[in-house]
Amino acid sequence: MKHYAAEVMGTFALVFAGTGAIVINQLSGGAITHPGIALTFGLVVMTMIYAFGEISGAHLNPAVTLAFGLSGRFPAKRIPGYVISQLCGALLASAVLRLLFENTAHLGATLPKGSEMQSLVLEFILTWILMLVVLCVSTGSKEAGTLAGIAVGGVIGFEAMFAGPICGASMNPARSLAPALVSGTFTSLWLYIAGPILGAAAAVPCWTFVRGNGAAGAQAK
């Protein structure tokens, strides 16, 4: 159960801090700024990896968990528990933000600024890049070690920095689903579920190809 508890707490922190930055930015008249929001997402992921990476792997993201399963580095029987834990943590964070700030900024829900196809492609590519980095710097199915937190937090930060104003740079179904459900904002929600899952899955064969036989033989932990 400690693995599931770590995923609940880690995903709670991710959604509470990341979407909380969006909410507070609106309430404060833009005091945090877009770069500040992107930095918040990157930093909270980095710190949660260092906090929980050795326990659960700090996936914090259903798309990451599913891709680890596809790569053969994570047992399929544990995927449902991880995904449920991540969704619970995210929903709890959005519920707390709703109590604190009502429905400000739709609780940080991800909404496309252009066409749905534009945001779908962006979410696919952004998550593909993210998952490639995760697979390359992780040990087994664990995002742990000296470089993992910096690398994964860094890629989330820079992707949110340049793509956030267009698609929201979710890369995480739990991060998008929770504020949507709690705020009642379901516009284009499907693309923030499909895009990240498909992008993360597409990263697996690319990683296997560039890393060679050693990647295919990696063992789940």
> Mean pLDDT for the chain?
93
CA dist., res. 18 & res. 39, Å (int):
9
Q: What is the pLDDT of residues 87-143, one digit of tens each?
A: 999 999 999 999 999 999 999 999 999 999 999 999 999 999 999 999 999 877 777
Tell me the domains of the chain and their CATH numbers. 2-215 (1.20.1080.10)
pLDDT in tens, 60-93: 999 999 999 999 999 999 999 999 999 999 999 9
Q: What is the pLDDT of residues 13-23, one digit of tens each?
A: 999 999 999 99
- Report the predicted TM-score, pTM, of the whole model to 2 decimal places: 0.92
Q: Could you give the CA distance from residue 71 to residue 205 in angstroms, rounded to a whole number?
A: 8
Residue-wise pLDDT tens digits, 168-189? 999 999 999 999 999 999 999 9
The answer to whether the beta carbons of residues 47 and 154 sit under 8 Å apart is: no
Q: Find, among 209, 203, 210, 208, the residue nearest to 218 by Cα.
A: 208
Q: Hey, how many other C-beta atoms are within 10 angstroms of the C-beta on 134? A: 29
Closest CA to 164 of 32, 61, 57, 66: 32
